[in-house]
Every structure is written in C-alpha cells, then in structure tokens.
Amino acid sequence: MEISVTANAASKSTLERLRKKHPNFDADIANNEHSQWKRPRVVIASITIIFVIAILVAMFAIYMQPYVKITYPIDSANVESIEEVNGTSRNIPNEQVLWLLVYGTGSQCYYPMERPIVVLPNGNWSCTAYIGTVNDAGHAYDIYVVQANQVAVNEIEFYLNNSVNETTGEEPGMVQLPIGTTTRDKIRVNRIP
C-alpha cells in the first residue's frame, strides 16, 4: 500500500509541475487521446502517396524506353516482292538509327535494305522492302526493324558496299544480325506472286 501511495504522490507532483510549466498541458493531453486514430490514417496516406509515385515513375520509365512498331503490313500478311513497310517509333537515341532487314526463312540469311529508315518528327516512318526474288512466291519471310549503333551501321554498310554481285545483283545475305543491333519489332509475311 505504501508503495502505491508514494507512486501516486510522485505522479501528482509531476503532473503539477508539468501544468505549471505548460499552461495548455491538459488540452494537449485531451488532443493526444484522439491522435491514436490519426496515426494509422497518416501512415496509410503516406504509403498510398509513395505507391502512386512509384507507379508514375515506373510508367514514365517504360514510356521513355525505345519503342518501334511495324504498322503495315501486319503479321501473317500476304505480300509482293516489293512492299512499302510502315511503322511508328519513339525515343530512339540520337546516335542510333533504325534499319529494316528481311530474313529469308529458306536461305536463313538477313538482307538489309539500302539505307537506314528515315523517321519523321512525329515518329512515323516508311521504308521500301525487297522481299525475295520474283521466283520466291510461297515462301515465308520475316521483316525485322532493328535499332543499330555505329558499329552495326558500319557492318551493314560494308556488307551493302562489298557483298552484292555486280553482274547479277544478288546478295549472299548476312548469316546473323550485326553486333550492335537490337531487334525492336518483327513480323512474318508470306510472299505471293
């Protein structure tokens, strides 16, 4: 009994000292009784804000990635030996270019088109594609759009300048995509006569 009486007296004297030092002590204590309900709300609101910011940052990062899409022809389309390939793109680094290559599923070689794709300011582009020879009707071909750095551009240009047979105009094809290319889109088409 004596211990609890002493503890109560000590508590009362501490409270008295606090009340003298802080005139609004009782009001602050009363307000704090409701703060237990405010804390979870603040924590939930903070977590929600952090979550929304994280989603926005992720969406921005995805949007800022290079994007290329072939819009014509569509995948599995029937095409002629000469086709205008159309597409759209965004966020291609200035020091890199887009290049269209046709892959012959029969020859298993890549055939780069004559020059890089010219991208308009709005991101749209168009490029003439030569898909096989006149005798290649019925074969499947893949149309690639690659993002190429300067090393890849040099390799493609070397191939175009040195590999085409001057007499027949035939190309041996490239066995693999050049080092320094990243495939950005690919479709498969079927050659018709």
- What domains are defined for the chain? 2-63 (no CATH), 67-191 (2.60.40.10)
Q: Give the separation between CA 134 and CA 150, rounded to whole angstroms.
A: 33
Structure confidence by residue, pLDDT tens digits, 136-180: 889 999 999 999 999 999 999 999 999 878 888 788 999 999 999
Q: Give the separation between CA 68 and CA 77, rounded to whole angstroms.
A: 19
Q: Full-prediction pTM beyond 0.75? A: no
More confident residue, 17 or 73: 73
Is 80 exceeded by the pLDDT of residue 81?
yes
Structure confidence by residue, pLDDT tens digits, 7-32: 455 567 776 776 677 676 666 655 55
The SS3 of residue 54 is helix
β-pair partners for 119? 125
